[in-house]
Structure 1
Amino acid sequence: MSTRSRLWWAVALSISGAGVGYALSLDRSSFIIASWVFSFCPGREVGFQATRLLWEAAQWVPPFWYGAAPLVVLALGAHWLATRRGRPRAGRVAARVAAGAILLLHGLGPAGLAVDLALDRSCLESWGGWEGARFFLDTDVAPIVAAFCVLAAVRIPRHRVRRLLRSRPFRRWVAGVAVVGLLAQVPVADLAAGPITSLDRCGDPYRSGERVGGLAFLCGLRRNGRFTVVGDHLALAYGRARCAAYRPSGGDSGLLAPICPAAAAVVRREAEREAAEWRAEEAAAQRVCDRARHRPRVRPLRVVRERTRTDYGVLESVEWNPAEPEYDPYDLGLLAKAQDNGLVAARPGHLIVLSHSDFEICLTAETYRRRPPVEVKGWDSVVEVGYESTSGSIELMDPMAGEGLAGLAFRGKGHYRVRVHYREPDYDAWTPQHLLIMIFPGRGEDVVEFRRPRRES
């Protein structure tokens, strides 16, 4: 064994020993690995998975323990013994195999970090920054350096290297490796992270001008949580490929519509069909309201008709009451009182009318100068209550919608009687329910149930 070889072996053993001492002295601290990095970072994924599999196997092989320092010692012993017995080539092969095993076990992590930094420097965050990279890789430095020292200790003399480099088989092998490497880089080059459109660049998806084009397609992908860490060019290539193979029964029509005319045509036809169905339902509901239009027995002062619906089955009017400035209209007391008769309740400045929350309402409000005749025929429930308008503005509305029937307190502030008529919807045909509200001057807070609603048993 030459002096040069002995020196390199000494360095390899020293570095391995230092690595073992460093590993035993570590006091690990915590750090954060970012899961929100929007980049293509294959080094971390491949490096972590491969290293995990290799370490699961290596933990059963004692020479790989303590940073593979025992393996360096075994490689030295094999090289020294083979050289003493006149078989130096076998010793070099054994040492190189040992060095290769060390590099495979400890070198994949640093190699993965180098690949990620070459592709996109933001990938460093996926490792937990420099602190995380040090946490994962610091114990790999000594084994890697020791492995290279082992290779240097058994390297071929220079004149043999020149002879190998000039040989025809070696040149052919290098040419073949170069060609294969270039071909391998073609698909890899297409995996560069590239720009990734964020939702900040996406406008209103319901504006027609922002529902076509590549940006609209990318925004649709991002909103659906798809391709969030893939470059725009790859996402668009995926969309064009899906468009080329598009079939109406294949789904994803709405997603592909911005860049695929065939999918856009399907989406447009579906939207037209749904719009036609909605118009037909609206027309049918309006016909039901028109057929059941109330014919007053005496002439009303004002008639207001509207087809509406409620969010949770309540129409109410809330006025400012100076006598009760602390009154909370969202208190459930008046609602509970209305549920006693199933239809209506009132207190000064607050009026509630109940209905079914799942059906539209054919709503009619009539105001009278004097008390109109009582009508119960054709109605399922008729209840009359007294109401005091504290501000002179009765406006029945759905509290969630904020729109309703205004101007019902035709005499301004004062006392009124409110008579509410209710007819249930046709539950099978899903047609609207009916409310007729008569408002006229009158005193008294008594509740009169002219027709009690049917109570469910």
Structure 2
Amino acid sequence: MLGIIFRSGGSLALLWQVGFCSSVEIDSGVWAMLRWRTPLRYAAVFLLVLAFGVHWGSVRRGCEPVGRTITRVPVGAVLLTHGSGALILALELGADRYCWTTLDKLGFLRGVRAFLIADVALVLAALCALAAVRVPRHRLRRLTRSRRFKRAAVGAAASGLLCFLPVADLGSGPVTGRDACGTVEPLTLRGALSFLCNARSSFPTMPDHHLLAYGRKQCAAYPNIHVDVSLIVPICPAAARQWDREIAAEEAEIERRDAVNQAACDRSGHQPLITPVGVARDRLWSEIGLAAFEDHELTSDEVPALHHDLVGSTPGHLVIGTGAEAQICLTAETYRRRPPVEVKFWDKVVEIGYESPTGDFVIMDPMSGPGTVPNLAFLGKGHYRVRVHYREPLWERDLPQHILVMVFPGASERVITHKR
């Protein structure tokens, strides 16, 4: 037996990982018990050696019954920890079909062997130890036929039935998948289907009836719940009312901020010093700045370099740098001749050349697409000059930033910085 014990020592490096299928939910109480498996696994060889020593010493001193009883404790711990690997693997394969996919990727037999090979030697050693300290057959027969043993067995069976009755309804059931949700909007609709579709991201394999029972239990405890309130909104009227109030308050705040920003854009509207061909205004958000790309979308090698972090261009492409933390009041003006330079009230003013290969020059937020600003290439394809003015937002009042774009004919490619 010792030979088996010490030969298995090298296998301790490959430990069974409980719950290798990430989609299987394990109860917190089960995890609390499973935490003891790790220290017991590292101590398995020591426990078997200890059992061997105790049994050997008890035989030498003539206390074989006591040694037999004491030996079974560490051997049982080893058998419990190392024998549970196969049980957990079987439970996970039965609970989640994705576990089969995981093992198939390794090759099924190879995957099972990879997860269980570390347990084989120690389980065999523990079984050998139990066989070595087994009770003689005639004593075992006398024990099982005794009245005391029969009474204890009947009591244990009755207790076991009572313990398992509360979980007798925990059989598997149908699981509503994402394909059944379709276009359901879980947080705007109400009902069981909306709840299941909303909760599937957190509980992908829990049967529907268990998940609904869990949601209704959380609803009964609302507001003292341990999950995000959005999870139970579809089936909990109290949570839905609070959710709707919060959404309405957020929308009202957004509308108020939009009104304040629009008023700020209207107050600071630019007054042209000469008559423009056209004037367009828009108010928008952008996380990556403004851009115009005529013939195809920009690639990383074609993004123009910004001059003074404000504006850059290549044929068919123009980029304007803006801040992502504030809205943008955008004004675009087109002229038939060069307009006067204006730097007062502006933080930066840069003028560059731009070539329009298609005559479709539209400045927009690249992520949301064209807004209300029309085509600025009013003379069709050709060369233009673009003068960009920038004014930073009033951060203390949370007001928007301002961009004024002047477009007029010109063949020069020179970059002119009117104000840094």
TM-score (norm 2): 0.72
Distance in 1, matches of 2:312 and 2:411, equals 15
**In structure 1, what is the equivalent of residue 402 of structure 2?**
434
Do the aligned residues in 2 keep the contact of 1:99 with 1:151 (CA within 8 Å)? no
Distance apart, 1:348 and its partner CA: 5.1
Match of 1:135 among 118, 136, 140: 118
**Alignment RMSD, CA only?**
4.7
Q: Distance in 2 between matches of 1:44 and 1:377?
A: 68
Q: Distance in 1 between matches of 2:314 and 2:139?
A: 104
Residue 62 of structure 2 is aligned to residue 97 of structure 1: no
Contact 2:5 2:125 in 1 (8 A): no
Mapped to 1, the partners of 2:73 and 2:300 lie a distance apart of: 81
Name the CA distance, whole Å, in 1 between partners of 2:36 and 2:135.
Answer: 30
Q: Which residue of 214, 231, 244 corresponds with 1:255?
A: 231
The alignment status of 1:65 with 2:54, answered yes or no, reads: no
CA distance in 2, matches of 1:378, 1:131: 71
**Cross-structure match for 2:79:** 107
The answer as to whether partners of 1:203 and 1:210 remain within 8 angstroms in 2 is no
Residues 1:308 and 2:284 are matched in the alignment: yes
Asked if residue 179 in structure 1 is aligned to residue 158 in structure 2, the reply is yes
After TM superposition, give the deviation of residue 297 of structure 1 in Å: 4.9
The DSSP-based 3-state class of the residue aligned with 2:119 is: helix
Q: CA deviation at 1:184?
A: 1.8
Q: Sort the Cα spacing of 1:189 and 1:180 in 2 relative to 1 into closer, same or farther, 3 A.
A: same
Q: The residue matched to 2:393 in structure 1 has which SS?
A: coil
**Separation of aligned partners in 1, 2:21 and 2:116:** 17
Q: Which residue pairs with 1:391 in the alignment? A: 358
In 1, distance between residues paired with 2:41 and 2:357?
82
Q: Which residue of 2 aligns with 1:88?
A: none
State the TM-score, normalizing by the size of structure 1.
0.67
Q: Aligned match of 1:207 in 171, 180, 185?
A: 185
Identify which of 6, 14, 21 aligns with 1:36: 21
1:244 shift after superposition: 0.9
Superposition deviation, residue 265 in structure 1: 1.6
2:163 aligned with 1:147 = no
Residues 205 and 211, structure 1, Cα contact 8 Å, conserved in 2: no
Alignment of 1:49 with 2:36, yes or no, is yes
1:349-388, aligned counterparts within 5 Å? 349-372=316-339, 378-388=345-355
Equivalent in the alignment of 1:415 = 383
Residues in 2 aligned to 1:65 and 1:441: alpha-carbon distance in whole angstroms: 93
Distance 1:247 1:352, change over 3 A: closer
Q: Is the 8 A contact 2:329 2:403 kept in 1?
A: yes
Equivalent residue in structure 1 for 2:2, among 9, 12, 20: 20
Q: Secondary structure at the match of 2:329?
A: strand
Using the alignment, how far apart are the partners of 2:83 and 2:166 within structure 1? 20
Q: What is the CA distance between 1:359 and its match in structure 2? A: 2.3
Q: Which amino acid aligns with 2:285?
A: R
The answer on whether the counterparts of 1:425 and 1:433 sit within 8 Å (CA) in structure 2 is: yes
Which amino acid letter does the alignment assign opposite residue 36 of structure 2?
Q
**Counterpart of 2:119 in structure 1: which amino acid?**
F
Supply the distance in 1 between the matched residues of 2:38 and 2:356 (Cα, whole angstroms). Answer: 79
Segments of structure 2 that go 5 or more residues without pairing to the other structure are 104-110
Q: Report the Cα offset of residue 432 of structure 1.
A: 1.9
- Give the 3 Å change call, closer, same or farther, for CA 154–208 of structure 1 in structure 2: closer
Q: Distance in 2 between matches of 1:102 and 1:422?
A: 77
Code of the aligned partner of 2:303: Y
- The change in CA–CA distance for 1:373 and 1:108 in structure 2 (over 3 A counts) is closer
* Separation in 1, partners of 2:321, 2:66: 90
Structure 1: gaps (5+ residues):
1-18, 83-90
Identify if the C-alpha distance between structure 1 residues 355 and 96 changes in structure 2 by more than 3 Å, giving closer, same or farther: closer
Determine the structure 1 residue equivalent to 2:292: 317
C-alpha spacing 1:114/1:182, structure 2 compared with 1 (3 Å): farther
- Give the secondary-structure state (helix, strand or coil) at the position aligned to 2:397: coil
Q: CA deviation at 1:372?
A: 4.5
The answer for the alignment partner of 1:239 in structure 2 is 215
1:330 aligns with 2:303: yes
Contact 1:248 1:263 in 2 (8 A): no
Based on CA coordinates, which of the two structures has the bigger radius of gyration? 1
| Residue type at the aligned position of 1:183 | L
* Superimposed CA distance per residue, residues 274-333 of structure 1 (whole angstroms, 9 cap, x where no aligned partner): 1111111112212222233334455433222211233234x3434569xxxx9953253x
Cα pair distance change 1:56/1:444, threshold 3 Å: closer
**Identity over aligned residues, as a percent?**
36
Measure how far apart 1:105 and its partner are: 3.9
In structure 2, do the counterparts of structure 1 residues 362 and 428 end up closer, same or farther at CA, with 3 Å as the change threshold? same
Q: Are the structure 2 counterparts of residues 175 and 275 from structure 1 closer, same or farther at C-alpha, using a change threshold of 3 Å?
A: same
Please say if residues 102 and 144 of structure 1, whose CA atoms lie closer than 8 Å, have aligned partners that are also in contact. no
* Alignment partner, residue 15 of structure 1: none
CA distance in 2, matches of 1:436, 1:262: 49
Aligned counterpart, 1:3: none
Change (3 A) 1:261 1:72: same
- 2-structure distance, mates of 1:150, 1:431: 84
> Which residue of structure 2 aligns with residue 10 of structure 1?
none
Letter in 2 for 1:429: R
